[in-house]
Structure 1
Amino acid sequence: MFPAKKLLSSTPPFALQFGKYLICGGTAFTVHWTIVNILGHTLSPAFDESLGDELRFRRSAINNTVAFFFSNTVAYFLNVRFVFQSGRFNRKTEVGLFFLASAIGFFPALYSLDLIIRTFSLNTHIANIGFPAVAAIGNFFARKLLIFRR
């Protein structure tokens, strides 16, 4: 038996599922981060420290909101394909619940953005890394327990 097959066969199902979730989430994060950076350096500049904390926060919030819709769409398709099994609800309800669960995680993440930028005056890049990281764990359990069959 190949070492990878042996490792996978001895890995508990939850750990394997969470590992796949993290890989799919990493892909969605890359989409999110790319969009935030493109917007933050072009249409809605948010990375220049001379802009001040208030303007950097506002623009970062806008950029993250736009990126949320794209990265969440990628996350949905990857989660359905590789992590969870559809079928608990019809497709429209499932997509709606998926986005709702993500939106619920969006607000604590938005608060972390506010905290990092306006309260601690830290770098916008640090804030934008913390943003999706805060939402990821809550989203996994909401999706696993409330939306999908497994």
Structure 2
Amino acid sequence: MKNSIVEAVLKLLKAEFVKFVVVGGISAVLEFSLLILFVEKLSMDYLIGNVIAFALTNIVTYVLSKRYVFNAATSANKAQEAGLFFLCLLGGLLVNQIVLWIFVEFTSLDYRIAKVIAIAITVIWNFFTRKHLVFRNRPVAAQQATATDYSEETL
């Protein structure tokens, strides 16, 4: 009995984390691409470009996290949820900026490589803050898709 409960919990967490990683992967590629666009094509400072890329990307991430990762289609208090998400986002931006700045300024690492490291560290922050603060009382999204999951209503 105890093993089956532990297995069920691990299965749910694994499904949720995998969905989080997929959404995170999409977000990371978008954020990285926007940063390169801002720095190399628009001649922005890498830290300013990072803030803008981070902010734009996290709008997409919020929608995908709410809809597909944490199964949070409805919320009793959307303002509170959005506020918590924004606070966690600011913390993630701070982590991201500090890591990026340290690696670029103190190790002379290329900003693109430093950004990959910053994204990796920020992913850990984002998962735990979103899971335990923003979407804490939400059921885990369904693990297996069915044919009805792809109806026009869900897309």
Question: With structure 2 as the length reference, what TM-score do the two structures score?
Answer: 0.76
Where does structure 1 differ by over 4 angstroms across 4 or more consecutive aligned residues?
Answer: none
1:77 aligns with 2:76: no
1:119 aligns with 2:106: yes
1:31 aligns with 2:30: yes
Distance 2:20 2:125 in 1: 12
- CA offsets 1:59-84 (integer angstroms, 9 cap, x no match): 11101100111110010011011111
Distance 1:89-1:105 versus aligned 2 partners, 3 A rule: farther
Percent identity among equivalent residues?
31
- CA offsets 1:108-150 (integer angstroms, 9 cap, x no match): 2211111111100111210111222211111111111111123
Distance 1:13 1:98 in 2: 22
1:13 offset after TM fit, Å? 0.5
Distance 1:142 1:33 in 2: 22
Distance 2:43 2:80 in 1: 33
SS across alignment from 1:122: coil
Distance 1:91 1:85 in 2: 14
Distance 1:75 1:94 in 2: 14
Amino acid in structure 1 at the alignment position of 2:18: G
CA RMSD of aligned residues (A): 2.0
Structure 1 gaps, min length 5: 1-8, 46-58
Amino acid in structure 2 at the alignment position of 1:25: G
Q: Which residue of 2 aligns with 1:56?
A: none
Distance 1:130 1:99 in 2: 22
SS across alignment from 1:12: helix
How many aligned positions are there? 129
- CA offsets 1:3-32 (integer angstroms, 9 cap, x no match): xxxxxx9x7110110010000011111111
